[in-house]
């Protein structure tokens, strides 16, 4: 079972949940930029949470399905057009041999995820299939190129066999999950931040973060450089005396005195000053923002952050329970 990449778009890579536990060896974690969209995609087609998806960043890929495939697209808002029909996000489809995703319209967002029942057959390195690219070369995983033929796992589980039978008659299946369902996670420009630093005066940080910021063209899987709408105030770069471990969501000040949000492929350690951390519940939203988008930081207390983390985890659990219940009603 295969599919063919007719055009990879701006950047298409194989991603999963990431290469965890190797930060002390200076190995980048990588993984899906929008982990929520990646996880939902796998759940909708009956895959395990460890299955890999195709992450399409910037502009999405054009793909031909060479066999019957159960597949779903999640993440950015869009309408995809094949040589047979229109495809909507968060709907599960049975793609026929020769069916090709030829174009996209009403595209809004930064990352799109394609999950296919069974998952992609790609080599695992250090417990992950995720791709890490440095200087345009894939050091781990696989950067997808034009003309590539990607192989899929042939074994379907019982859930996917049942899904195939249902889709043979219906062609598509809605799970009641769409952009309206998950709008709370993406729409707002407000981004929470927990300020934590010993290098700057807290009042100065509060003043610096008070203004709105814009996403610049310096925007990739390592991080996003922000530009303040009012550049009258900068935080001066102060190199830390000792290197520290970094993690996704940290807000760093670079050597140009610019704030940078660290993302999946950031370096594991560094000496650049950190002024705060964006909680995980706002990282999917950050990853989907395009160049020119606005971010407005809201400083929160640690106790409030933990309350929000709990509520967010509860909401995500309800989404996956809804998917689980839908599978139970397919019989």
| H or E element that contains 43 | helix 35-44
- Tell me how far apart the terminal alpha carbons of the chain are, to the nearest angstrom: 26
Per-residue model confidence as pLDDT tens for the chain (331 residues): 899 999 999 999 999 999 887 777 778 888 999 999 999 999 999 999 899 999 999 888 999 999 999 999 999 888 899 999 999 989 999 999 999 999 888 778 889 999 999 999 888 888 899 988 775 666 777 789 999 999 998 789 999 999 999 999 888 888 767 666 676 677 789 999 999 877 778 888 888 888 889 999 988 888 999 998 776 667 777 777 778 888 999 999 888 888 999 999 888 888 888 899 999 999 999 999 988 899 999 999 999 999 999 999 999 999 899 898 888 888 6
- In the chain, CATH 2.40.100.10 covers 189-300
10 Å CB burial of residue 314 (0-12, 13-18, 19+) is exposed
Domain 189-300 belongs to what topology? Cyclophilin (2.40.100)
d(CA 106, CA 232): 36
Neighbouring residues of 136: CB distance < 8 A, sequence distance ≥ 6: none
93 three-state secondary structure? strand
pTM, to two decimals:
0.91
Neighbouring residues of 177: CB distance < 8 A, sequence distance ≥ 6: 40, 44, 90, 319, 322, 323
d(CA 317, CA 60): 29
d(CA 251, CA 230): 18
List the structure tokens of 16. Answer: 């999963």
Q: Is the dihedral of CA 145, 149, 155, 157 positive or negative?
A: positive
């Amino acid at each position: 079972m295969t599919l063919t990449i007719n055009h990879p778009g701006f950047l298409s890579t194989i991603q999963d949940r990431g290469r965890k536990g190797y930060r002390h060896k200076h190995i980048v974690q990588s993984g899906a930029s929008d982990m929520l969209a990646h996880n939902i995609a796998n759940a909708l087609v009956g895959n395990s949470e460890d299955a890999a998806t195709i992450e399409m960043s910037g502009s999405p890929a054009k793909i031909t399905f060479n066999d019957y495939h159960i597949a779903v697209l999640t993440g950015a808002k869009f309408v995809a057009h094949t040589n047979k029909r229109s495809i909507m996000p968060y709907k599960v489809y049975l793609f026929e041999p020769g069916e090709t995703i030829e174009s996209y319209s009403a595209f809004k967002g930064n990352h799109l995820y394609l999950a296919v029942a069974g998952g992609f057959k790609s080599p695992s390195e250090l417990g992950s299939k995720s791709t890490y690219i440095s200087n345009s070369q894939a050091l781990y995983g696989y950067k997808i190129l034009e003309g590539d033929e990607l192989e899929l796992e042939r074994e379907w589980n019982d859930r996917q066999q049942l899904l195939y039978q249902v889709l043979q008659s219906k062609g598509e299946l809605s799970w009641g999950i769409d952009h309206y369902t998950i709008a709370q996670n993406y729409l707002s420009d407000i981004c929470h931040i927990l300020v934590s630093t010993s290098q700057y005066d807290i009042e100065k940080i509060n003043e610096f973060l008070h203004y709105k910021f814009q996403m610049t063209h310096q925007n990739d899987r390592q991080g996003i450089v922000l530009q303040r709408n009012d550049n009258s105030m900068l935080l001066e770069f102060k190199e830390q005396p000792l290197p520290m471990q970094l993690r996704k969501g940290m807000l760093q000040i670079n050597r140009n005195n610019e704030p940078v949000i660290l993302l999946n492929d950031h370096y594991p350690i560094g000496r650049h000053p950190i002024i705060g951390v964006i909680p995980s519940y706002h990282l999917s939203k950050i990853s989907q923002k395009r160049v020119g988008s606005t971010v407005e930081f809201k400083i929160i207390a640690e106790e409030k952050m933990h309350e929000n983390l709990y509520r967010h985890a509860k909401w995500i659990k309800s989404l996956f329970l809804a998917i689980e219940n839908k599978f139970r009603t397919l019989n």
